[in-house]
Structure 1
């Protein structure tokens, strides 16, 4: 996953209560043959690391940030984005500089909303297409959504299982800084996200990501086995 990420949200207004969780679970019923697993957690918590571990177990991972980045390079999308932000968001090679866009949108709600109207529907459309594609592939055991704002855009309700990645704030901040974010940027991005407590309350399982890699792999394997065996 790219070190410079853009977070896309549709600014939907909904409450994260036990009722929402009940709606998600009751609408799913029996877990699908190829369950959709959503990964929740804060910036720097290690969501992509967890997703990569699921991939080793035969799951297909859908990386929403990667999809968004690919979309920004498609001519029709690129044209709309440049029209919105101007030529200043292009780098020396003529490609969209995501860092420059991030500086603008996280300081201006209206610009972020405008960007969302361009990118957001396309990201979700492509995500749904990939889900349907992977469901037709016999070798795929499950589908994992690595989507930073999974809950914020309402896609947690499309998941059969939700897993929260729990990580100490100090560790998350250190990881985020290694990814290229300073403390101010981290705070701005967190302000656009729902609280970690609310996300944790929606999860079916929790993975602790404060220790070594072997401990993470063991937790992922255990949870995945449970999901498959109890499907």
Structure 2
């Protein structure tokens, strides 16, 4: 009888712990910063601390593979954005839209709803996952699409302009588009840094960066 009672009490305790874990707010951390600043590196550092990372660039790339999205993009930009295998070439897309504001707006209307819907779905899934300590939004247009309002903490990744541009050369920007052109179409870095709750300096090595991220995350967890 006593063993049965102890077992029942333990079951109740575990159930209560489960309810608390499910109801505990998962902090949402949004990353801000210029192109090539190292936001994805910071996101990976948060990931190693038990955070789930939502990579909007990866979601956008996946969206372009969807038949309906692909058809709309080709209708907007023409068949010239397709490569020899009939797949959308992101470099060609970049060349087209960053030279024409109306095309950029059109592409945004096609791709962003798909990306944001998927990101929202991931957020809901991660909130239910007990192994996830926090959710990180690695989203280049976080402020532009208004998703910074979904965040409990905004972290700005600051890096010297020369280093950022050097890193950006390794990305797929297209033939005519450089990081400066793309960045000029976004909300200014000055405004984004004013929105930030924390700043990570990324002008040193990755270990120094990871140390800053760990300190910020400890503070976030302690205050959530």
Compute the TM-score of the two structures, normalised by the length of structure 1. Answer: 0.83
Native 8 Å contact 2:95 2:176 kept in 1 = no
Distance apart, 1:178 and its partner CA: 2.7
Distance verdict in 2 for CA 1:183–1:167, change over 3 Å: farther
Q: 1:58 aligns with which of 20, 45, 50?
A: 50
What SS does structure 1 have at the residue aligned with 2:169?
helix
- Aligned CA-pair RMSD: 1.4
1:175 aligns with 2:175: no
Measure the CA separation in 1 of the matches of 2:107 and 2:59. Answer: 15
Measure the CA separation in 2 of the matches of 1:183 and 1:93. Answer: 23
Measure the CA separation in 2 of the matches of 1:178 and 1:74. Answer: 26
1:209 aligns with 2:195: no
What SS does structure 2 have at the residue aligned with 1:163?
strand
Distance apart, 1:183 and its partner CA: 9.1
Q: Which residue of 2 aligns with 1:110?
A: 102
Q: For structure 2, list consecutive stretches of 5 or more residues without a partner in the other structure.
A: 1-23
Measure the CA separation in 1 of the matches of 2:207 and 2:178. Answer: 31
Q: Which residue of 2 aligns with 1:84?
A: 76
Measure the CA separation in 2 of the matches of 1:173 and 1:187. Answer: 8
Native 8 Å contact 1:37 1:161 kept in 2 = yes
Q: Which residue of 2 aligns with 1:128?
A: 120
Q: Which residue of 2 aligns with 1:147?
A: 139
Aligned residues between the structures: 200
Measure the CA separation in 2 of the matches of 1:102 and 1:109. Answer: 12
Stretch moving more, 180-189 or 203-212: 180-189
Distance apart, 1:180 and its partner CA: 4.8
Q: For structure 1, list consecutive stretches of 5 or more residues without a partner in the other structure.
A: 1-31
Compute the TM-score of the two structures, normalised by the length of structure 2. Answer: 0.86
Misfit runs of 4+, over 4 Å = 180-184
Q: Which protein is bigger by CA-based radius of gyration?
A: 2
What SS does structure 2 have at the residue aligned with 1:165?
strand
Q: Which residue of 2 aligns with 1:75?
A: 67
Distance verdict in 2 for CA 1:180–1:79, change over 3 Å: closer
Native 8 Å contact 1:177 1:183 kept in 2 = no
Native 8 Å contact 1:104 1:111 kept in 2 = yes
